[in-house]
Amino acid sequence: METADRILSLLRREPVVSGEALSATLGVSRAAVWKHVEALRAAGYVIEARRARGYALTGSPNRLLPAEIARHLTTERFGRRLECFETIDSTNVQAARLARDDAPEGTLVLAERQTHGRGRLGRTWVSPARVNLYASFVLRPRLSPADAPQLALAAAVAVARALAPLAPGRVAIKWPNDCLLDGRKVAGILTEMDAEVDRIRAVVLGIGVNLNAPARAFPVDLRPTTTSVLLATGTPVDRPRFAAGLCATLEAVYDRVVRDGFAVVAPEWETYSCLTGRRVTIDCSGRRSEGTVRGIDPTGRLVLDGTAGEERIMAGDVSIVNGYQGLGTQAKGSGT
């Protein structure tokens, strides 16, 4: 552990710690302690100097710093190897680079800002600085490439589970893997795979969650369909704690799905689904299907009562027929 991290962990244990005690415990000079305290302050920690008593940590930055995430992390693998960037092109691109360099499963790339955030279907993911979560995990599932789409569905359950305590009863999943809050898009998932015909080398699971973004952070045309947790609830999210919590929900859901198949989380996915019973059209690579959504099958396909009988659909872009009552106009896949 670096000296600055050790200072933080000592300050977290006691309300006030003297400079003398810090220097003795760490085996560095008082001047070095002071230098590290100044650096921590510059990083956003609030460290008060109490006269004749020592230093008191009274505030931590709401930033995606490794030390802040590590203290909330409860996982075995997910987030244990972590790279955090202030600015990056896309966390998915960086995670793919790490995957090619044999990064282990659960490796996590985070960024405070993306210059080329990628969304599904070639869209852009709007990625304003220091307010949201842009996360990409390296996965090495022992699944056939044909089953890989199940991972994105499972990830939507993990994201919904992580968001639900922040807005109880207001989080939904719109098939295949958009997360909605009060019917507006709050999170999106993009999986990218490196595979041979019958073997997955790696999957990069990219997750974007709008946490503390103000409305002005989104382009005007997206504002009616997009939200953040702060916008919807009025309460700012502790981002490092959320990131660690997401690692935990994801590790739990992912391990179950890889071991037992998507069927084991399908019932939970259904509890969040906002499409069941609704009339929809689905654009599936130019082919259009229309019908009433019956639910999801054990392999993750959407079951549709279509005009020509039952259809099971693995991927596509959904629109709700007759407007979006109950979801707002937001349910149509927004570009964020």
**Which residues in this chain contact ligand BTN in the complex, by CB under 6 A?**
90-92, 114, 117-120, 123, 125, 134-136, 178, 188-190, 206-208
Q: Which residue, 119 or 316, has its beta carbon nearer to ligand BTN?
A: 119
Q: Which residue, 75 or 336, has its beta carbon nearer to ligand BTN?
A: 336
In whole angstroms, give the CA distance from residue 232 to residue 163.
Answer: 12
Q: Is-contact 254 138, C-beta < 8 A?
A: no
In whole angstroms, give the CA distance from residue 223 to residue 195.
Answer: 37
Q: How far is the CB of 121 from ligand BTN (least distance, A)?
A: 7
Q: Which residue, 8 or 64, has its beta carbon nearer to ligand BTN?
A: 64
In whole angstroms, give the CA distance from residue 224 to residue 171.
Answer: 17
In whole angstroms, give the CA distance from residue 160 to residue 268.
Answer: 10
Q: Which residue, 173 or 232, has its beta carbon nearer to ligand BTN?
A: 173
Q: Which residue, 138 or 190, has its beta carbon nearer to ligand BTN?
A: 190
Q: Which residue, 123 or 332, has its beta carbon nearer to ligand BTN?
A: 123
Cβ atoms < 10 Å from Cβ of 196: 8
Q: How far is the CB of 190 from ligand BTN (least distance, A)?
A: 4
Q: How far is the CB of 177 from ligand BTN (least distance, A)?
A: 7
Q: How far is the CB of 237 from ligand BTN (least distance, A)?
A: 16
In whole angstroms, give the CA distance from residue 4 to residue 36.
Answer: 6
Q: Where does residue 113 rank: exposed (0-12), middle (13-18), buried (19+ CB within 10 A)?
A: middle
The gap between the terminal CA atoms of the chain, to the nearest Å, is 37
In whole angstroms, give the CA distance from residue 303 to residue 299.
Answer: 11
Q: How far is the CB of 49 from ligand BTN (least distance, A)?
A: 39
Q: How far is the CB of 48 from ligand BTN (least distance, A)?
A: 36
Q: Beta 108-111 vs 82-85: how paired, if at all?
A: parallel
Q: How far is the CB of 114 from ligand BTN (least distance, A)?
A: 6
Q: Which residue, 35 or 113, has its beta carbon nearer to ligand BTN?
A: 113
Torsions phi, psi for 289 (to 5 deg): -120, 145
**Crossing angle for the helix pair 19-26 and 30-42, to the nearest 10 degrees:** 100
Q: Which residue, 118 or 161, has its beta carbon nearer to ligand BTN?
A: 118
Q: Which residue, 117 or 141, has its beta carbon nearer to ligand BTN?
A: 117
Q: How far is the CB of 275 from ligand BTN (least distance, A)?
A: 16
- Using CB positions, name the residue nearest to ligand BTN: 188
The single-letter DSSP state of residue 212 is S
Q: How far is the CB of 334 from ligand BTN (least distance, A)?
A: 8
Ranges assigned E (strand) in the chain = 46-50, 54-59, 82-85, 108-111, 133-139, 171-174, 178-181, 184-195, 200-209, 279-284, 287-296, 302-306, 309-313, 317-320
